């Protein structure tokens, strides 16, 4: 008789987990708050470690075909002078293949093709995860996870990173991406699908900050005088064409599992986005969880194996991302910041 799993959350991590479990004979139900898959969304970097997870799901080649290889870029100052080079060829040499750029909607649609038909229940939020009726409960419900709070408690709670972020896409075709760093603020650009560019703007601000003159006025005041293509991007931003929110992270949990409940992705290790690994780690979690359950039929034992395999690597990456965030937030000693950034990039990307 097939074992059953309830997966709370049908985002990247939830769909990857459902697909991975289904390949090993599990019966899966995915409960997703949103009414359907999204049509719009920003770009993601799919690193080689996540491509290997997609390979395990039979989706790797499709992801490579849908995506585009991330070109080399730079971290620059607002006047356009260079702080450091982002050498994607070095990533390929070290990790065996490049980073691919893929939009969030495209990745979600791809993952959905590997989930059994009818397994995802859209428009079905779960605020109190079921305690019975399933062999396995997976909390894949993001940084504000109700599963984590209900089963693991609300300590440690989320911590505000000090950043507030705007992000979106515009109709502009750029071949090269990168970041521009000012004093405790930055603006990032990533090529997406042909004709679209992903952008994000970040500044330090009190938690809950609301621009007194409105978002677009704030963006133009802060970044409008920065080097090209920043002004061109700002000119193309539509009034409802972006999101703004505070950036939080989750301090290290003592465990990702308890009983027959496992956390994955941001529910387990929400990190600042500075290393571009959040979506990647969620997919890796899902495959690792399915592998552990395939190797041991006793669910609590298998979940402990998953916890040992994933908790320390994910938390180590989250700590690295937080250090990168704190470096970029420096408003004084900028020559030291720039030297530390060059040294970090010379050391190499996370594996």
> pLDDT (tens digit, 9 = 90+) per residue, 130-156?
878 999 999 999 999 999 999 998 888
More confident residue, 264 or 241: 264
> pTM here?
0.94
Domain spans of the chain? Answer: 4-158+249-347, 161-247
- Predicted confidence band at 10 (pLDDT cuts at 50, 70, 90)? very high
- CATH code of the domain made up of 161-247: 3.30.9.30
**Tens of pLDDT, residues 289-315:** 999 999 999 999 999 999 999 999 999
Residue 36 has pLDDT above 80, yes or no: yes
Q: How many CB atoms lie within 10 A of CB 216?
A: 16
> How far are the Cα atoms of 99, 105, 174, 176, 192 from residue 71, in angstroms, in the given order?
9, 21, 10, 6, 11
Angle of the 88-95 helix axis to the 48-56 helix axis, nearest 10: 50
Amino acid 238: pLDDT: 87
Residue 244 has pLDDT above 80, yes or no: yes
Residue 350 has pLDDT above 80, yes or no: no
Which class is 4-158+249-347 in CATH? alpha beta
CB 102 within 8 A of CB 59: no
């Amino acid at each position: 008789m097939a074992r059953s799993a309830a997966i709370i959350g049908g985002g990247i991590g939830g769909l990857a987990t459902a697909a991975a479990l289904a390949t090993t004979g599990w019966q899966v139900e995915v409960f997703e708050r949103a009414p359907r898959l999204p049509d719009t969304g920003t770009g993601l970097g799919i690193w080689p470690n996540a491509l290997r997870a997609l390979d395990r799901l039979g989706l790797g080649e499709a992801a490579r075909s849908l995506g585009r290889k991330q070109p080399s870029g730079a971290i620059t100052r607002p006047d356009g002078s260079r702080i450091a080079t982002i050498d994607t060829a070095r990533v390929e040499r070290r990790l065996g293949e490049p980073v691919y750029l893929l939009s969030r909607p495209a990745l979600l649609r791809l993952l959905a093709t590997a989930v059994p038909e009818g397994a995802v229940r859209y428009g079905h939020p779960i605020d109190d995860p079921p305690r019975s009726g399933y062999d396995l409960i997976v909390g894949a419900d993001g940084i504000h996870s109700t599963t984590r709070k209900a089963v693991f408690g609300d300590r440690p709670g989320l911590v505000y990173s000090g950043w507030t972020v705007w992000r979106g896409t515009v109709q502009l075709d750029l071949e090269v991406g990168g970041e521009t760093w000012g004093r405790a603020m930055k603006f990032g650009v990533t090529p997406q699908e042909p004709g679209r560019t992903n952008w994000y703007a970040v500044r330090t601000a009190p938690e809950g900050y609301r621009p007194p003159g409105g978002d677009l006025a704030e963006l133009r005041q802060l970044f409008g005088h920065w080097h090209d293509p920043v002004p061109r991007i700002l000119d193309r931003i539509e009034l409802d064409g972006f999101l703004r929110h505070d950036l939080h992270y989750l301090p290290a949990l003592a465990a990702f599992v308890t009983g027959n409940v496992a956390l994955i992705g941001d529910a387990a290790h929400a990190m600042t986005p500075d290393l571009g690994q959040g979506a990647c780690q969620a997919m890796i979690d899902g495959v690792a969880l399915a592998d552990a359950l395939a190797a041991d039929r006793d669910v609590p034992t298998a979940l402990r194996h998953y916890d040992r395999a994933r908790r320390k690597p994910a938390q180590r990456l989250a700590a690295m991302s937080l250090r990168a965030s704190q470096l970029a937030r420096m408003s004084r000693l900028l020559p030291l910041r720039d030297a530390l950034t060059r040294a970090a990039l010379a050391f190499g990307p996370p594996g």
